[in-house]
Amino acid sequence: MTDDGSAAADERRDSPSERPVDLRRQRLRQIPEPESQPELPLKPETDLAAARSEIFEDNDPSDPYGVGATNLTIAPPDERQIARAREARLALLTADAPGAAAEAAEWGWRGRINMLFGAQLLPRPNGPETAFRQAVERIRQPLPGTPMIVVANPKGGSGVTPTAIMLSALLGRYRGGNVVAWDAHESTGTLAARAAAEHGPATVWDVLGQARKLCSTNADASALARFLHRQPSLDEVLASDQDPGGSAMIGRDECAAVLAVLRRHRSVIVVDTGNNPRAAGFRWAIEHATALVVPVTDRRDVIVGALRLLDGVADTGHDELATSAVVVAARDPLPGRSVEALSAAGVRRVATVPWDPALASGERIVLSRLPTATVRAWTHAAADVTDAASENLTCHSTPLESEYIPETDWVTASPVPGPATQSRLTAYRWRHRADGVRSGPPRYYEEPSW
């Protein structure tokens, strides 16, 4: 063992050993900093059109915002979705909606008795409460595809913006959100200024600046919500730009890109078109509309503008859209005879709503602050619009179950006007001959704006 111990000691003595390192005395080697690049001066964005051309100068001219040809193409609804929508419509026609007449009443004396004594009195089968519940179920019916409901009337002051806000709010309330109201004015629209809430300065140009990312496969569900204004009724508003010094305007390419984005993230789109029927965005919206809503009042010039619009839409090859259009008539406290003449002019759907000063005041429209009668009447109007959108979507494909789809029993059938030019306006003017408005055959001093 003595020999082994001395051998180990000799081995340790002969092996080299490292000197201990004092970390406190060590200095870190300094890494050279990279050469800084000179900052480029930022150009003021005085012209949105110039900024758009610089950002998307490498894109296809037919797709300047880079959303992709697939997203720009509006594919027809799936056959299974169409069959499901047809079955839901047939169920609404053949029987009452679930809960429409089977749940306890909440209106009138029956509702008061149920609330005070815990009774279960049912509403009248054909009463106003049952009709209102059926209207709500019609709003909730499944819709194949993504309908684009266009609200238009070239006559200013006809209520286009309030109508778009009311329809969007009621669709959002009863369909559980996923509804967006889009201000498609060519510039400086007032939809966001009339909506119940407005959050931040985001406008349609912000959506167009991010259109490529929003249409990509990696876009999340909340990406678009950052550019929209959330409303208390669960719908959202896409605002128009408010720059008075800007020169860029919303045209056909911009509308196509916005629709491609909205279709990917929302299920129902309500469009406020403005009052210029010759604007490119106005014409594009009419060409791609699923349902057309035309608001009118008891003023004769407003109704003449609405009928001229419907005749122009029919003359440009969209007769089905003009025939299925819903005219929302706001009745004045002292109504005239103009609204009654709409049916004689060949308008199939006329939804009557009361004239409300809150909608005509120019202030923000909050659904919860409106009178009960106003909200109920607009609910029936929203149900008629939903029916029109559903019919237009499902009629583009052959049904899977049957070849016959009956007309809705809540729409008064009337003869479809012929293909003659200005047919609706002609009938309206002949209707008012006896009122002293105009005598003799109708005369036209100018061509329609379409």
Q: Which 3-state string (H, E, C) describes 55-85?
A: HCCCCCCCCCCCCCHHHHCCCCCCHHHHHHH
Integer angstrom CA distances of residue 172 from 230, 281, 322:
11, 25, 25
User: Is pLDDT at 444 greater than 60 in this prediction?
Assistant: no
Kindly give the residue spans of alpha helices, DSSP state H, lying in 101-217: 108-117, 128-139, 160-175, 191-194, 204-209, 211-214
CA torsion through residues 196, 183, 259, 144, sign: positive
Tell me which DSSP letter residue 163 carries. Answer: H
3-class DSSP state for residue 25? helix
pLDDT, tens digit, 9 for 90 and up, residues 227-285: 999 999 999 999 998 888 778 889 999 999 999 999 999 999 999 998 889 999 999 99
Is 346 part of a structural domain of the chain?
yes
Those residues with Cβ within 8 angstroms of residue 140's Cβ, 6 or more apart along the chain or in another chain: 174, 175
Residue 174 CA to residue 449 CA, distance in Å, equals 37
Overall residue count recorded for the chain in this entry: 450
Residue labelled with tokens 């051309």: 53
CATH number of the domain encompassing residue 306: 3.40.50.300
Dig out the tokens for 430 from the structure. Answer: 């002949």
Alpha-carbon 222 to chain mean position:
17
Is 322 part of a structural domain of the chain?
yes
Mean pLDDT, all residues of the chain: 78
The pLDDT > 70 percentage for the chain reads 67
User: Is pLDDT at 443 greater than 80 in this prediction?
Assistant: no
Q: What is the pLDDT of residue 447?
A: 40
Residue 425 CA to residue 305 CA, distance in Å, equals 9
3-class DSSP state for residue 180? strand
Dig out the tokens for 330 from the structure. Answer: 């706001």
Is 24 part of a structural domain of the chain?
no
64-78, 310-324, 402-416: the lowest-pLDDT one: 402-416
What mean pLDDT comes out for the span 323-334?
84
3-class DSSP state for residue 404? coil
The answer to whether 302 and 188 have CB atoms below 8 angstroms apart is no
Is 234 part of a structural domain of the chain?
yes
Is 106 part of a structural domain of the chain?
no
User: Is pLDDT at 123 greater than 60 in this prediction?
Assistant: yes
Q: What is the pLDDT of residue 96?
A: 61
User: Is pLDDT at 144 greater than 90 in this prediction?
Assistant: no
Is 443 part of a structural domain of the chain?
no
Q: What is the pLDDT of residue 379?
A: 96
Per-residue confidence at 222, pLDDT binned at 50, 70, 90? Answer: confident
Is 276 part of a structural domain of the chain?
yes
What mean pLDDT comes out for the span 123-140?
90
Those residues with Cβ within 8 angstroms of residue 183's Cβ, 6 or more apart along the chain or in another chain: 189, 190, 191, 192, 204, 237, 238, 239, 240, 272
What mean pLDDT comes out for the span 293-322?
91
Is 202 part of a structural domain of the chain?
yes
Beta strand pairing status for 326-331 and 349-354?
A: parallel
3-class DSSP state for residue 328? strand
Please give the residue range of the domain that contains residue 305. Answer: 69-98+131-405
Residue 172 CA to residue 300 CA, distance in Å, equals 32
Per-residue confidence at 431, pLDDT binned at 50, 70, 90? Answer: low
User: Is pLDDT at 396 greater than 70 in this prediction?
Assistant: no
Per-residue confidence at 187, pLDDT binned at 50, 70, 90? Answer: confident
3-class DSSP state for residue 230? strand
Residue 426 CA to residue 345 CA, distance in Å, equals 8
User: Is pLDDT at 221 greater than 70 in this prediction?
Assistant: yes
Tell me which DSSP letter residue 12 carries. Answer: H
162-166, 214-218, 271-275, 358-362: the lowest-pLDDT one: 214-218
User: Is pLDDT at 382 greater than 80 in this prediction?
Assistant: yes
User: Is pLDDT at 146 greater than 50 in this prediction?
Assistant: yes
Residue labelled with tokens 């509308």: 255
- With residue 351 as reference, give the H or E element that holds it: strand 349-354
User: Is pLDDT at 414 greater than 80 in this prediction?
Assistant: no
The pLDDT > 90 percentage for the chain reads 40
How many structural domains are present in the chain?
A: 1
Q: What is the pLDDT of residue 395?
A: 73
pLDDT, tens digit, 9 for 90 and up, residues 71-120: 776 666 666 766 666 666 666 665 666 667 778 888 999 899 989 999 98
Higher pLDDT, residue 336 or 100: 100
pLDDT, tens digit, 9 for 90 and up, residues 157-168: 899 999 999 999
Nearest to 172 by CA among 243, 114, 232: 232
Tell me which DSSP letter residue 141 carries. Answer: S
